[in-house]
Amino acid sequence: MASMVEIEKELEEDFALFDDWEGKYDYLIGLGKDLPLIDDKYKTDEYIVRGCQSRVWLHAANNGDFVFYSADSDAIITKGLVALLVKVLNGQKAEEIAHADLSFIDRIGLKEHLSPNRSNGLVSMIKQMKLYALALTKH
């Protein structure tokens, strides 16, 4: 399993191939298609990430110390964003996820999604993923 830093670096390189926003967004939307989809039974209010303008459902499970996420969204850019996070965090140690830096999002040119704006769900998604990881470390 590659480390978070390695995966982030790979993503940065992938996004760097596009010199305009259209390419980056097309690629991001494409990432959403590879997202490990959440089981329909978890597509309930309980698993909704609060603070997103679109609906995002997120589920986490662990295998020992390692955390595995599945998710879905009704908006395809949002789905790409959550896929981006899942790609980096999936299969990592709960402890490491809880302390993950994730500033690579800024570096790949998606900074606007990190603004503390209520219409923006990425910050909420990160918080929720870390909370799941934290909860798992305590069990």
Binds another protein (CB under 8 A): choice among 53, 103, 115, 117: 53
Q: Does 124 bind another protein (CB under 8 A)?
A: no
* Comparison of 22 and 101: residue with beta carbon closer to another protein: 22
Q: Does 22 bind another protein (CB under 8 A)?
A: yes
Q: How far is the CB of 105 from another protein (least distance, A)?
A: 15
Q: Does 74 bind another protein (CB under 8 A)?
A: yes
Euclidean distance between CA atoms 114 and 59, whole angstroms: 21
Euclidean distance between CA atoms 16 and 25, whole angstroms: 12
139: annotated active-site residue:
no
List 11, 28, 35, 52, catalytic entry: 52
- What is the contact mask toward another protein in residues 99 to 118, using x (rule: CB under 8 A)? -------------x------
Check if the beta carbon of residue 81 is closer than 8 Å to that of residue 15.
Answer: no
Q: Does 26 bind another protein (CB under 8 A)?
A: yes
Token match 């670096």: residue? 9
Residues of this chain that bind another protein (CB under 8 A): 21-22, 25-26, 29, 53-55, 74-78, 112, 119
Q: Which residues are catalytic?
A: 52
